Amino acid sequence: MICEKLRNIAIIAHVDHGKTTLVDEMLKQGGVFRENQVVSDRVMDSNDLERERGITILAKNTAVKYEDVKINIVDTPGHADFGGEVERILKMVNGVLLLVDAFEGPMPQTRFVLQKALEMGHRVIIVVNKIDRPDARPMEVVDEVLELLMDLDATDEQLDSPVIFASARNGLASLTPENGTDLKPLFDAIINYIQPPEGDESAPLQMLVSSIDYNDYVGRIAVGRIERGTLKQGQEIVLSDYHNNRQPTKAKAVNIYQFEGLSKVPVTEASVGDIVCVSGIEGVTIGDTLCAADAIEPLPFVKISEPTVEMTFMVNDSPFAGREGKFVTSRNIRDRLYKELLKDVSLRVEDTDTTEAFKVSGRGEMHLTILIETMRREGYEFQVSTPKVLFREIDGVLCEPVERLIVDVPEESMGSVMSQMGVRKGEMQHMGKVGNRTRLEFLVPARGLFGYRNEFLTETKGEGIMNSIFDSYQPYKGDIPRRANGSLIAFETGEATTYGLFNSQDSGPMFIDPATPVYAGMIVGESLRSNDIVVNVCKKKHMTAIRSSGHDDALRLVPPRKFSLEQAIEFLAEDEIMEVTPQSIRLRKTELDHSKRMKNLMRNK
């Protein structure tokens, strides 16, 4: 049976190339919204973090109708750290829209997601987006995409992929680089080029679980495409695993939902090719197959790439512990971390020797910082260590994760970037001109990129663009200096004063404002020297008959440097940790007592 009235597609691209914006316009022109309905931008980015950062973190399903054909659309994450989402989502679809920025062209994540799609034999529609940019170079970008397809060993059919030129923001598409009038050329390409799903609807049921949703009321919700047969509400099924990690277990499909627009609509049955949500199956996880009770035949599943970075999550034990958080105990933190495993297949959580700390491994720094930010917004208070890469032993050789880094920089910044890459054991792979900028490509150890983003922005005066993606494990490259400068550490517990900060700022840039509560051992700035310096930011000016403490108003402070969560994590040295609460991010020394720190330092020399 061929489902002519159905198409399943995923939209894949690099970060910020316009995936979510394009889906918005497809929904509008597909009649999902009323003509006079007010719709927010990037309606598919449903959580606050996605909206604030302008990135998609979790894959989203939606569906539109076009000329009596239902098009199931999956909007996938573009950031490399959420590649686990992309890999499994591609199992649900028959083709992909490859979205590429008309100026930037193919970027690291473009290569990653396209390679996965080609390996699965998916048909590809190339969409060159943002053709209305003043610096757009659409025809050059098409050539670059074709070169990438050849580089990735695409088949002849995949090399003949149709090309659509679009401005997602304006809802326009055409077959030439000129602006069109609507998205009809794109819809037509999807209907005519992407193959409809096919299978035997009368055969025993097979449905691969490619994604997991979670609801506090019904628990886990299995999301996937029916590969064979028909699924009916209330049907007795068997949960099985291709790799035999679990024994087949009986279950019941309590409720079945299909996607229509932005809603889940309950249905009584679904057939071959349909992408559905199924609730009521206890213990279901990504990679499981829902089978008919009389034909237990699990489907093979794409192996999700292993984590490359780990951090330790700990109970907050600072002098300010428990002041700002709602959930502060080790049990609260442990339960929350293990709950995250229910829907994030790329994450790993392990207990440690102590009940106060947990090892959390992910695909990259952003993967873990998103989790940290989500938890603090939910009211959790905890501490995290500096990130560390996960080494592996391959054929008796110690190996480390290596990233493929691509940077676009102004010509005058090239020298400093190449110099820094040399220090960080980066090996140049390619250099070329892109417009009036230079594109450099390096293979660099993942640990060499820790803390580099801030330096990179300084070196390029904020004009540089850097993107990286995991490339491979390679033999250990040797020592890499983590941070050249030391920290400025608070001498005592109290409240920072203007006078204390004024006297301390000669030692280096400060991170705090006057009246900020601090404690002994807390990091309040960056030292201009390579060693740590203890400063008294709580010091007050003594009043005299001639000069009063009110003269603090005349002291001129340099504005403090404020860190985002990622910047704070990148700043951390080996003996430092970050305190995270719903209201604050504080950096501190692992050992707060100054004399003990000095003894440890002398002992380690």
CATH T-level fold of 392-475: Alpha-Beta Plaits (3.30.70)
CATH T-level fold of 206-292: Elongation Factor Tu (Ef-tu); domain 3 (2.40.30)
Hey, is 171 helix, strand or coil?
coil
**In terms of residues, how long is the chain?**
605
Contact 197, 272 (CB under 8 A): yes
Contact 387, 309 (CB under 8 A): yes
- What pTM value is reported for the model? 0.74
How far are the Cα atoms of 51, 56, 81, 162 from residue 46, in angstroms, in the given order? 7, 9, 19, 31
Q: For residues 565 and 372, what is the distance between their CA atoms, to the nearest angstrom? A: 9
Domain segments of the chain as ranges: 6-193, 206-292, 392-475, 487-574+589-604
Contact 397, 475 (CB under 8 A): yes
- Say which CATH architecture domain 6-193 belongs to: 3-Layer(aba) Sandwich (3.40)
Q: For residues 471 and 456, what is the distance between their CA atoms, to the nearest angstrom? A: 21
DSSP string for 105-160: -S-HHHHHHHHHHHHTT-EEEEEEE-TTSTT--HHHHHHHHHHHHHHTT--HHHHT
CA dihedral 143, 149, 155, 157 (to 10 degrees): -40
> Hunting for tokens 């090239």 — which residue is that?
414
Which pLDDT belongs to residue 37?
39
> 487-574+589-604: CATH homologous superfamily?
bipa protein (2.40.50.250)
DSSP string for 180-229: -SBSHHHHHHHHHHSPPPB--TTSPPEEEEEEEEEETTTEEEEEEEEEES
Q: Which residues, 6+ apart, have CB-to-CB distance to 540 below 8 Å?
A: 497, 499, 500, 549
Which pLDDT belongs to residue 86?
65
Which pLDDT belongs to residue 53?
38
Low pLDDT (below 50) residues in the chain? 33-59, 78-83, 549
Q: Which residues, 6+ apart, have CB-to-CB distance to 589 below 8 Å?
A: 487, 489, 521, 522, 523, 532, 575, 576, 577, 597
DSSP string for 308-357: -EEEEEE---STTTTSS-SB-SHHHHHHHHHHHTTT-TT-EEEE-SSTTE
pLDDT 10s digits, 155-192 = 888 888 899 998 888 888 888 887 778 888 889 999 99
Q: For residues 522 and 224, what is the distance between their CA atoms, to the nearest angstrom? A: 48
Q: Positive or negative, the Cα torsion across 41, 43, 47, 53?
A: negative
Which pLDDT belongs to residue 603?
77
